[in-house]
Each structure stands twice: as C-alpha cells, then as structure tokens.
Amino acid sequence: MQKCKYIADLKAERLIAIRGCLTNLTEVYDIEREFDYMQSHRESMLTIKEQMALAFPGNYGLFIAMHFGRFLSETIDTEEKRTAYHQIIDFLDHVALHIDPELEEFMSTVFSAREKIDTALIEQQSHDHMSAVLDDTQGYLDSHHDEIEQYIQFKLSDEFKASLVGRLQDKML
C-alpha cells in the first residue's frame, strides 16, 4: 500500500508541475520560458511513454508510444534508464519507416478517438485477460480452438493484409 501511495504522490507532483507550466503559459504567455522549463524537467515530469510520443514528429511518436507504451510507464530516474532511452531514440531516429498518407490519416483518426476511450482501462483488461490465459494456457487453447483457427485464417487472408489495420500491424511488426 505504501508503494502505491508513493507512486500516486509522484504522479500528483508531476501533474502539479505540468499544471503550473500551463498556468504560467496562459497568464504570461512566455512560450520560450515554459518550453525551456519543460525541456529541463522533462525526465522527471513525463513517463518514458510520454517522452517517446513527443520525441518524433507527426504520428510517428504516437505510433511508437502506442506500440511499446505498456512497457514504458516509468520516468527516467537512473543513469542506466537515461542511457537506454537515448540509445532507443538514436536507433529509432535512423529507422527508415515510411507510413503512406492513407495509414497516416488512419492513425490520426485512431489517436483522436483515444481521447474518448479509457486506454488505461483497456490496457488493464488486456493485462488481466492475458494473465488468465497464461495461468491456464492449455485450457484456454482447448476452449477457444475454433475461434483461434478462424482468427488465423482471417489474419492470413488477402483481405486483412490489404486493410488499413493489416497494413498498420505489418508496420508495427
């Protein structure tokens, strides 16, 4: 319980700092000063997932954060994490990933819809479901054999591969 309280307090501190920046920005409208403050305190104010979303232009950062986000919910609080983060950014900066305009538009729609969706709840439900599957893998496979077969056939179909979701999934893999 103490650990949960500590984490909640850290998150509250982060939100207060961000709110302070936004308040200063609306009252004084010194964008440069607030941007400099945010940049200098970024590691302690934002989770790695949030930093990844902001690190790249357009939807690429959101794409990366969406794909790896469940593993990146901490802040950078050690030199080891800082080094790893910078290595990941450097690597991703040099990945040649082309997202065609149709996929870009699709991702914009998905990311806009996320504002109306409780993504934390979806992530938790997904985690809970996966834990249940891992607790009794054989039982799950036995009881869902037909659905799994249908899903595999669908994923292998030309129709799925040509769809926006299929193409986006191909880019994520």
3-state helix/strand/coil string of 53-108 = HHHCCCCHHHHHHHHHHHHCCCCCCCHHHHHHHHHHHHHHHCCCCCCCHHHHHHHH
CA dihedral 36, 39, 42, 43 (to 10 degrees): -130
Number of H helices, E strands in the chain: 12, 0
Separation of alpha carbons 35 and 54, rounded Å? 13
Residue 128 and residue 80 in one domain = no
Answer yes or no: is pLDDT of 7 > 80: no
**pLDDT tens per residue across span 10-61:** 667 777 777 776 777 777 777 777 667 666 666 666 788 877 877 877 777 7
Separation of alpha carbons 92 and 69, rounded Å? 15
Please tell me the total count of domains within the chain.
Answer: 3
Q: What is the pLDDT of residue 118?
A: 59
**pLDDT tens per residue across span 100-129:** 777 777 767 766 655 555 556 666 777 778
**pLDDT tens per residue across span 133-166:** 888 889 888 988 899 899 889 888 999 888 877 8
Residue 125 and residue 158 in one domain = yes
Residue 40 and residue 51 in one domain = no
Residue 55 and residue 91 in one domain = yes
Residue 78 and residue 62 in one domain = yes
**pLDDT tens per residue across span 59-109:** 777 777 777 777 787 888 888 988 988 898 888 888 777 677 777 777 677
Residue 172 and residue 103 in one domain = yes
Residue 16 and residue 83 in one domain = no
Q: What is the pLDDT of residue 149?
A: 92
What range defines the domain where residue 19 resides? 1-45
Separation of alpha carbons 22 and 7, rounded Å? 23
Residue 80 and residue 115 in one domain = no
pLDDT band, residue 168 (cuts 50/70/90)? confident
CA–CA distances in Å: residue 11 to residues 1, 51, 146, 150, 168: 15, 15, 44, 43, 32
